[in-house]
Structure 1
C-alpha cells in the first residue's frame, strides 16, 4: 500500500493534537492483556483492593503478615487487575455517505475519524477492530493492538465503493454477535433512512451486554444548515430519483424534519445510556477530537 493511502486517513496535523491523548473506557473492562484500565476481576496485580481469608492452596507469598500479627488469622492481599479494552469501529459505507467533496465528504471524514481513533487506541496498547456495512456487513478487520492494524484498516477503507442503501440495525446485530462483553462500540453514520425503533432495539441489546456505545452522526454542513440558494437539482444517492426545486420552498420543511429526527435520535441515545455526537464535516477534525476527548475525560473524572 502506498504512503498516499495511509496519509489520506492519517492527517499529521490531527495526530499532533490527539496522539498523546488516551481514550478511556467509561466502565470496568475485561480483556486478556495487561493494560491501563481497571478490570472487574480480582487478582494479584497492580492496585491493592482488599483482603480475603486464607484458604488451603493459596500462594503463601500473598499472605498479609501484618494482619496476622494483629488478628492472629491468615488473610490474602487482593488487587485490582489492570487490563485492556476492545473498541469496535463500525463504519457506514452506504451510498448516502458519498455526499460532499474533498475533505468534507462524509465517508472520507468518517473514515479518517475511525483511523485516527484506531491509531490512538493501539498506541495505548488496547485493541481495535473495524467493520464496514451498508445493507449487510461488507468487511471486518479483526481486533488487534498491533500498529499494523492501522495499515490493515486503511487498506480495507481504500477498497470501499459506496453504492447500496443501509440497514444499520440488522448490521449492528450481526456485529454484536461477534463481540465479547464490556467492550466499546463506535458507530459512524449519517443515520439517514434509519428506523429509530429498530435501532433502539439493537442499542438496548448492546447496553444489556454492558457495552459502551458511541454514535457519531456524520453530516455535511449543507445537510445540517440547508445552506443552498436558488434553483437546485437534487439527485438521489440511494434511489434513482431527481428533483429540481427552489431551495427556499424546501428549506423550512427540511430543517423541521431534520430537527424532529435529531430530537428523537438524541432522546433514544439518552434513554439507553449511549453517547450521540453530531459531526459537521466542515469542522476541523483536530478541534472535534480535542473537544470530544476532553468531554470524556471530564465525565470519567466525575464517575
Structure 2
C-alpha cells in the first residue's frame, strides 16, 4: 500500500489530536484478551469485587480466612477481570454517500472518521472490525488489534464503489444476528431511511446490550440548501430528475429537514443512543476530539 493511500484516510494532524485520547466502553465488556476495561465476568485477578460462598473444589488459596474467623463461614474472594472490547465500524457506502466533492464528500468524510477511530482503538490494544453496506452487506474485515488491521481496513475502503440504494434496516438486522456478545457498534451514514424501521433494529441491538454510536454525516448543501436560481436535481439512488426554481422549494425543504432531524434526535434520546453530528465542511478533528472528550466526561461522572 502506498503512503499516499494511507495519508488519504489517516490525516496526520487529525491523528495527532485523536490518537492519545482513549475510547472507553460505557458499560462492561466481554473479550478474550487481557486489556484495560472491566469485564462482567469475575475471576481471580486485578481488583477485588466481593465474596461468594466456598464450593468444594475451589482453590483454597482464594479463601478469605479473616472473614472465616469472624463469621465461621468459608467464602471465596472474587476479583474483577480486565479485558478488551471489540468495536464494529459499520459504514454506509450507498450512492447517496457519494454527494460532495473532494474532502467534503460524505463517504470520504465517513471513511476518514472510521479509519481514525480504528487507529485509536488498535493503539490501545482493543479490536476493531469494518462492515460496509448499501442494499446488502458488501464487505467485512474481521476484528483485529494490530497495525496490520488498519492496512486491511484502508485497502477495503480504497476498493469500494458506491452505486446501490440503501437498505440499512435489513443490513443492520443481518449484522446484529452475527454479533454474539456485547460490543460497541459505530454506524456512519446520512441515515436517509425509514426511522421507524431503523429504531426497531437499533432497539434489538440495545436489547443484546451493544453500545451504539451513530455518526450522522451530512454535506452543508443538505443542511442549508445553498442553491440559487433554476437547478436540475438528479437522484443518486433513483433515476428521477427534477428541474426546479430553488427559491420555490427552499423553505419547504428546510422545514422537512428540521422535522427529520428532530425525529432522529428523539429516536436517539428515547433509546439512549449516542449521536455525533458531522458536517463534511467542518473540522473532523474537532468533531472527533469533542466526541472522545464527551465520552470521558460521561465515564467519570
Q: Smaller-chain TM-score range? A: over 0.9
| 1:197 counterpart SS class | helix
Contact 1:207–1:273 (CA under 8 A) maintained in structure 2: no
Q: Give the corresponding residue for 1:93.
A: 93
> Match for residue 111 of structure 1?
111
* Number of residue pairs matched by the alignment: 301
* Cα separation, 2, equivalents of 1:249 and 1:77: 72
Q: Confirm whether residue 162 of structure 1 aligns to residue 162 of structure 2.
A: yes
1:207 Cα deviation from its structure 2 partner: 0.6
Aligned to 1:178: 178
**Match of 2:223, SS?**
helix
Structure 2 SS opposite 1:78: strand
1:232 and 2:215 aligned: no
> Which residue of the partner structure matches residue 215 of structure 1?
214
TM-score (norm 2): 0.96
Preserved CA contact (<8 Å) 1:26 1:300: yes
Q: CA deviation at 1:72?
A: 4.3
Instruction: Report the counterpart of residue 130 of structure 2 in structure 1.
Output: 130
What is aligned with 1:143?
A: 143
Deviates more, 1:87-96 or 1:1-10: 1-10
**Partner SS, residue 56 of structure 1:** coil
For structure 2, the residue ranges without an aligned partner over 5 or more in a row are none
Partner secondary structure for residue 90 of structure 1: strand
Distance 1:11 1:41 in 2: 38
Contact 1:33/1:84 (8 A) holds in 2: yes
Structure 1, 49-58 or 220-229: larger mean CA deviation: 49-58
Match of 2:200 in 1: 201
Return the alpha-carbon distance in structure 2 between the equivalents of residues 278 and 125 of structure 1. Answer: 27
Supply the distance in 2 between the matched residues of 1:155 and 1:131 (Cα, whole angstroms). 13
Contact conserved, 1:181 with 1:211, CA < 8 A, in 2? yes
Q: Secondary structure at the match of 2:281?
A: coil
CA–CA distance in 2 between the matches of 1:75 and 1:102? 64
1:261 is matched with 260
- 1:233 & 1:185 partners in 2: Cα distance? 38
Calculate the aligned-residue CA RMSD, in Å: 1.3
Could you tell me which residue of structure 2 aligns to residue 68 of structure 1? 68
Please give the alpha-carbon distance, in whole angstroms, between the structure 2 residues aligned to 1:124 and 1:180: 23
CA distance in 2, matches of 1:56, 1:195: 56
Distance (whole Å) between structure 2 residues aligned to residue 241 and residue 56 of structure 1 = 73
Identify which range, 228-237 or 208-217, moves more after superposition: 228-237
Distance in 2 (CA, whole Å) between partners of 1:225 and 1:249 is 15
Q: Work out whether residues 28 and 38 of structure 1, in 8 Å CA contact, stay in contact via their aligned partners in 2.
A: yes
3-state DSSP of counterpart to 1:7 = helix
Q: How many angstroms does 1:122 deviate by? A: 1.0
1:241: which partner in 2? 240
- Give, in whole Å, the separation in 1 of the partners of 2:196 and 2:56: 54
Structure 1 gaps of 5+ residues are none
